Homo-oligomer: A and B are copies of this chain.
Amino acid sequence: MKGFAFAGIYAGIKKNGIKDLGLILCEKPATAAAVFTRNQVRAAPVILGQQMIQKGVCQAVLANSGNANCFTGEQGIEDARRTIRIVADTFGIPRDLVMVSSTGVIGAPLPMEKFETGIPQLKTQIHTGTLADFAAAILTTDLSTKIVEMTADMDTDQGRRTITMKGVAKGSGMIRPDMATMLAYVITDAHISVSDLKQALTSACDKTFNRITVDGDTSTNDTLLCLAGGTSNAHITDDASRAVFQDLLEKVCLDLATQIVRDGEGATKLVQITVKGAATKQDAFKAAEAIAHSNLVKTAVYGEDPNWGRITAAAGRSGARVDPDRMDLFFDTVALVLQGKWQGKKAEKQAAEIMKASEISMTLDLNLGDHTDQFLFCDFSENYVKINADYRS
């Protein structure tokens, strides 16, 4: 895709020799929109990012792993500003077009000397680096890089046009939907207005990143940024092209969100819970969220146990209106509970078979209305505990 360049190197911020500093550089200033964490404890780069994104334009994104630059007070803000200056000076672009992101340990000061030597190194790589280099540089406890590329065609007055969109994300712990979850960047060659981009991104985020959970904790550094370079001749100007763009953006975000959950800390299984038949939209959300967050449900999934008691009990405590005697529960297409009644040993055995897969879909029908919502979550293994008991040591 024309108009974007990438780099990702080891700058020495992490201790393990694995890439920890990355850059996305746009040839020309790109139209930009972003969504950030709603946690009131916000990292310094998030605070600065929220200000800089107001103008709707961005040319460079510097992201580091190994240090979240969060809860670092005035010094953290100063440090983030200094990294912005170094990027701007090194690449010859205006300071107010640089966004920075950080992810890693909370509370430690940013090791500025690593940025001073690292950013010039990024420059030497910027003509040969790939999105995969950048994707690797932003990982923390992630086991794999998370990249997606999709295209969509649209008909315009000038003929058929193709939009390309690439996405990259990191995240595997401290994952709970309350805005964009974790670091995620989407770049596209589409030509789109700031207001259209903002609206499309907020909507896509709500349907994808805000519907996933690994462990129920909301990060202090969550950022989802979309850069539209406008290098293609695909101009988003009418409702039809907006719909194509929105659809493509949602697919890209959903793909990244799914990759995050699949790579959840200690996760062995990916689960989609659909709650349907809820009396209200909010009820569908609440019930799905409670099930997706339940440690008892998540450990049962890990144990490959179709423990419908825990699933229905989680819905029961969610605050959503439920009637136990009207609930249906399906594992894939197997009905284990119908109208509140357990469907017997044969159904249980079939459901247990389904639980052995690495991807599982569950549907809880409350049979009280027409509203539906979905969550993606992962199971909960001993490894999650190990990873998080030892994280700082």
Which A residues contact B (CB, under 8 angstroms)?
Answer: 38-42, 68, 70-71, 73, 105-107, 173-174, 176, 178, 215-220, 293-296, 299-300, 302-303, 305, 307-310, 312-317, 321-325, 337, 340-342, 380-382, 384-386, 388-393
- In the assembled complex, which residues on chain B have CB atoms less than 8 Å from the CB atom of A217? 294-296, 310, 313-314, 317
A40-B324, A71-B309, A392-B305 are contacts. A220–B316 as well, Cβ < 8 Å? Answer: yes
**A173 and B174 alpha carbons, distance in the complex (Å):** 23
**A309 and B382 alpha carbons, distance in the complex (Å):** 23
**A39 and B314 alpha carbons, distance in the complex (Å):** 8
**A17 and B73 alpha carbons, distance in the complex (Å):** 59
CB-nearest residue of chain B relative to A340?
A: B73
CB-based contact A315/B382 at 8 Å:
no
- In the assembled complex, which residues on chain B have CB atoms less than 8 Å from the CB atom of A325? 73
CB-based contact B389/A305 at 8 Å:
yes
Chain A interface main SS type: loop
Distance to closest chain B CB from A282 (angstroms): 15
How many chain copies does the complex carry?
2
CB-based contact A215/B40 at 8 Å:
no
Distance to closest chain B CB from A381 (angstroms): 6
Contact for A389 among B71, B73, B299, CB less than 8 A = B299
CB-based contact B71/A340 at 8 Å:
yes
- In the assembled complex, which residues on chain B have CB atoms less than 8 Å from the CB atom of A70? 309, 313
A322-B41, A325-B73, A341-B73 are contacts. A385–B299 as well, Cβ < 8 Å? Answer: yes
CB-based contact B106/A303 at 8 Å:
no
CB-based contact A388/B295 at 8 Å:
yes
CB-based contact B388/A299 at 8 Å:
yes
Distance to closest chain B CB from A313 (angstroms): 5
**A70 and B311 alpha carbons, distance in the complex (Å):** 13
**A316 and B43 alpha carbons, distance in the complex (Å):** 11
Distance to closest chain B CB from A136 (angstroms): 24
CB-based contact A380/B385 at 8 Å:
yes
CB-based contact A300/B41 at 8 Å:
no
A41-B324, A300-B388 are contacts. A295–B71 as well, Cβ < 8 Å? Answer: no
- In the assembled complex, which residues on chain B have CB atoms less than 8 Å from the CB atom of A310? 106, 217
- In the assembled complex, which residues on chain B have CB atoms less than 8 Å from the CB atom of A315? 41
In the complex, besides A219-B313, A300-B391, A385-B385, 11 extra interface pairs with C-beta distance below 8 angstroms are A41-B322, A68-B309, A71-B312, A71-B313, A71-B340, A106-B309, A174-B313, A216-B294, A217-B317, A300-B392, A305-B391
